[in-house]
Amino acid sequence: MKILVVDDERAIRNSLKEILADEGYEVDTAEDGAIAEEMIDKEHYDVIFCDIKMPGKDGEEVLEFVTGQGIDSAIVMISGHGDIDTAVECIKKGAFDFIQKPLDLNRILITVKNAGERTTLVKDNKVLKKKVYGQEMVGSSAALQHIRDIISKVAPTDARVLITGSNGTGKELVARSLHALSLRSAMPYVEVNCAAIPSELIESELFGHEKGSFTSAIKQHKGKFEQADGGTLFLDEIGDMSLAAQAKVLRVLQEKKLSRVGSDKDIKVDVRVVAATNKDLRAEIEKGNFREDLYHRLSVIVVKVPSLDERKEDIPELVDYFDRQICAESGKGTVPFSPEAIKALQDRSWPGNIRELRNVVERLLILGGNPVSAADVEEFF
């Protein structure tokens, strides 16, 4: 763990450094705020001890610098006799804690331990988030690059997005990226597969219900819209939603409020809706299965995810990615695919798209040779 000590008094710098180094921490020191900021720019510190009163840039300014840059270091203010109020103010502005002069050895060690744990938590959280939302979209084809461009432009807005494309093209991945790159990324991301929920349950699933509103409603239940408040709601397979549920969704989109099943009370929600479908919604509108007004509400931006057959040049990268992913899951080293095997895969057509490709790679890793050959592809496809 790396620690930075910022104080204009040499004696304090030295004694803190000594105490912390004795405990096995790696410690740097800075004698004023400007030097500290330069160091923080170059190095990542888990914990920063920072004096409040310093000539030039003071501790509060260093704190503002760190939080302003989004750096996840835990900052512990060092306060003298006269600046307790400022120390409290600093806590409000995002400092982790403060310690008072004269320095108390035990207090310092406890604080640094707590602060270090807090930084680790923040980091773990970021890694976890990346695992859940930031799953990579692999491929450098122009088609995929185009999708990435649209995502990066659209994500930070609150515009509703309709994602279209066949099964297995990566629509869910697009929806997650839209959330991960949005200003709502710290708020909930909630997925609903509209095709998987029986039509008589979808209203309660989306809008919640009050206790006793129907036979099996034994307690109050918050719906997905409420769960996603402040964040993003992904309505997957929206083409399979019943007309009754469509009418209710339309109301939430228009009025930004809903009522639970069995209640008249309006509940305000702030949710960005992203929807996906593999159906041709225009054709569904013609057939009377989908509301045209809802379609227009949902499709402010339409992202059409290309099929794998339209971007076969991504196959080598995808095979390599799944090879690593699948082998890592089973704790094994990767197995190479011969160039001929890759070519054989590119010559195929892929109605199941990326999902199908992943399955085929998995099968070849189990059944094929090392390296996987074109003959393996012929035999086990």
Ligand X SMILES: Nc1ncnc2c1ncn2[C@@H]1O[C@H](COP(=O)(O)OP(=O)(O)O)[C@@H](O)[C@H]1O
Rounded Cα distance between 50 and 62, Å, is 8
CB of 210 to ligand X, least distance (A): 33
Q: For residue 316, give the nearest of 376, 357, 364, 270 by alpha carbon.
A: 357
If one asks whether residue 306 binds ligand X (CB under 6 A), the answer comes out as no
Instruction: By CB under 6 A, name the one of 169, 182, 277, 307 that touches ligand X.
Output: 169
If one asks whether residue 167 binds ligand X (CB under 6 A), the answer comes out as yes
- Distance from chain centroid for Cα 280: 29
With CB atoms as reference, the residue minimizing the distance to Mg ion is 172
∠ CA 199-205-210, nearest 5°, is 115
The secondary structure of residue 120, as a DSSP letter, is H
Sole residue written with tokens 């045209």: 292
Q: For residue 52, give the nearest of 29, 75, 18 by alpha carbon.
A: 75
If one asks whether residue 355 binds ligand X (CB under 6 A), the answer comes out as yes
Site string for Mg ion, 118-157 (x = CB under 5 A): ----------------------------------------
CB of 328 to ligand X, least distance (A): 14
CB of 314 to ligand X, least distance (A): 7
Q: CB nearer to ligand X: give 60 or 236.
A: 236
Rounded Cα distance between 229 and 82, Å, is 43
Long-range contacts of 337-340 (CB under 8 A, 24+ apart): 337/364, 337/371, 337/372, 338/371, 338/372, 338/373, 338/374, 340/373, 340/374
Residues between 173 and 212 that touch ligand X (CB under 6 A): 173
With CB atoms as reference, the residue minimizing the distance to ligand X is 170
Residues between 96 and 135 that touch ligand X (CB under 6 A): 135
Residues between 151 and 190 that touch Mg ion (CB under 5 A): 172
If one asks whether residue 28 binds ligand X (CB under 6 A), the answer comes out as no
Q: How far is CA 240 from CA 197, 252, 275, 276, 303, in A?
A: 10, 18, 12, 10, 19
Q: CB nearer to ligand X: give 168 or 239.
A: 168
Residues between 316 and 345 that touch ligand X (CB under 6 A): 321
Instruction: By CB under 6 A, name the one of 8, 9, 61, 172 that touches ligand X.
Output: 172
For 378, the token pair is: 């012929």
Q: Beta strands 257-258 and 47-51: pairing type?
A: unpaired
Alpha-carbon torsion angle 242, 248, 254, 256, nearest 10: -130
- 179 makes contact, choosing from Mg ion, ligand X, none, with CB < 5 to 8 Å by partner type, with none
If one asks whether residue 137 binds ligand X (CB under 6 A), the answer comes out as yes
**Residues 236 and 172 sit within 8 Å (Cβ to Cβ):** yes
Sole residue written with tokens 């835990």: 74
Instruction: By CB under 6 A, name the one of 71, 138, 195, 250 that touches ligand X.
Output: 138
- 170 makes contact, choosing from ligand X, Mg ion, none, with CB < 5 to 8 Å by partner type, with ligand X
Q: CB nearer to Mg ion: give 27 or 233.
A: 233
Q: CB nearer to ligand X: give 169 or 182.
A: 169
Instruction: By CB under 6 A, name the one of 134, 139, 231, 239 that touches ligand X.
Output: 139
If one asks whether residue 358 binds ligand X (CB under 6 A), the answer comes out as yes
Rounded Cα distance between 200 and 124, Å, is 40
Instruction: By CB under 6 A, name the one of 33, 170, 223, 368 that touches ligand X.
Output: 170
- 169 makes contact, choosing from Mg ion, ligand X, none, with CB < 5 to 8 Å by partner type, with ligand X
Q: Which stretch binds ligand X (CB under 6 A): 76-84, 341-349, 351-359, 363-371?
A: 351-359
Beta bridge partners of 4: 28, 48
Long-range contacts of 95-100 (CB under 8 A, 24+ apart): 95/63, 96/47, 98/52, 99/49
If one asks whether residue 304 binds ligand X (CB under 6 A), the answer comes out as no
**Residues 49 and 23 sit within 8 Å (Cβ to Cβ):** no
Beta-strand ranges (E) seen in 294-359 are 301-304
Total chain residues near ligand X (CB under 6 A): 16
Q: Which residues bind Mg ion (CB under 5 A)?
A: 172
Q: Which residues bind ligand X (CB under 6 A)?
A: 135, 137-139, 165, 167-173, 321, 354-355, 358
